[in-house]
Amino acid sequence: VTPGDLLVTNGSQEGMSLLSECLLDPGDRVMVESPSYPDALGVFRRDGVLLEGVDLLPDGPDVEAMERLLAEKKVKAFYTIPTYQNPTGFSTSDEKKERVLELARRHDFVIFEDDPYRNITFEEKPRGTYIRASGDDRRVIYMGSFSKVIAPGLRLGWMIAPSPVDMALEKLRIAGTLCLPDVIQYAVCDLAGAGGLQEHLAKVRPLYKANRDALAASLVKHAGPEGLEVDVPGGGFFIWGRIPWLKDAQAFAMEAIKNEKVAVVPGAHFYPEPGRGGDRIRFAFAAVKPDQAEEGALRLAKALRRYRAGRGGGK
């Protein structure tokens, strides 16, 4: 990576917006993980891009489904969060990354790799990236963010793209935001250069892990008997839940916040396809301390019992 490949952005969300504006046209097709990050899906929809959902499995996207889709339709790009994905917490295996890269070469599409969570890891071995695995291919555009690593209010991210693309993205960014605050950039540079970033990560990772462990255990203990199943991630900020008997997570979430003052995000928000995610809810544990997790899970279990009873105890 050279300095000419690097672009600083107002968080990775601006990077996503720039990519869509610069590289995609209305009517272009983009493959996305299903479920995926709703604000990225919103950017694509804003620009008239057609979304093609591919089911996300615990080890990454359903590659066979990608192959079937690519045999029928021309796709311009694949948007992915390969490490501790939002909302599922799933991570794409190195083997699947290689298979997806081979599909990208064969069918000539670009990979938008959105990777804000990879440094929030509770695993011993670091996860790989598409951009490193791609070598000199240069068909991966990588997005990272300091907002998740240091503080959300920083709104400081970066992109790695081939120089010609990077130059076009920079012109577009200048036309929109002109420049980013120098003070924030210097502060982050000073922190990273002095080794402070690694010290910071060494402090916060155990705290986030404790939050994850406490919330996962409390959910299993209290809401598990009400039918909740959870996937426990190896990093990031999110736990993905499934309640097989639940049909409308949106309605449940509204009742839960109203009656029990407990907040969850309904799964339908994360799917590119309408009608999916009715049995899914997402939990965020970054700001939920262990002593809060027990109370939250108790309230959730109570909300589930109330909701189920109000609908005739559906199975």
The residue ranges of every structural domain in the chain are 3-193, 198-310
How many C-beta neighbours within 10 Å does residue 244 have? Answer: 10
The residue among 137, 64, 67, 60 whose CA lies nearest residue 105 is 137
- pLDDT digit string, tens, across residues 80-92: 999 999 999 999 9
Cβ proximity of 228 and 242 under 8 Å: yes
pLDDT at 178 over 80: no
- pLDDT digit string, tens, across residues 297-307: 999 999 999 99
- pLDDT digit string, tens, across residues 110-160: 999 999 999 999 999 999 999 999 998 889 999 999 988 888 778 899 999
Work out whether strand 140-145 and strand 157-160 pair parallel, antiparallel, or are unpaired. antiparallel
pTM of the prediction? 0.94
- Cα 249 from Cα 275, distance rounded (Å): 11
Cβ proximity of 173 and 9 under 8 Å: yes
Cβ proximity of 301 and 309 under 8 Å: no
To the question of domain 198-310 being in CATH 3.40.920.10, the answer is no
How many C-beta neighbours within 10 Å does residue 306 have? Answer: 15
Take residue 179 and report the two structure tokens written for it.
């420049």
Cβ proximity of 140 and 131 under 8 Å: yes
Take residue 97 and report the two structure tokens written for it.
């990354």
Amino acid at 91: S
How many C-beta neighbours within 10 Å does residue 206 have? Answer: 10
- pLDDT digit string, tens, across residues 44-63: 999 999 999 999 999 999 99
Beta strands in the chain (DSSP E): 6-9, 29-34, 50-57, 60-61, 77-80, 110-114, 140-145, 157-160, 229-231, 238-242, 265-266, 280-284
Take residue 169 and report the two structure tokens written for it.
């993205």
Cβ proximity of 79 and 114 under 8 Å: yes
DSSP state of 127: P
Mean predicted confidence (pLDDT) in 59-70: 98
- Cα 12 from Cα 70, distance rounded (Å): 27
Work out whether strand 110-114 and strand 77-80 pair parallel, antiparallel, or are unpaired. parallel
What fold, for 3-193? Aspartate Aminotransferase; domain 2 (3.40.640)
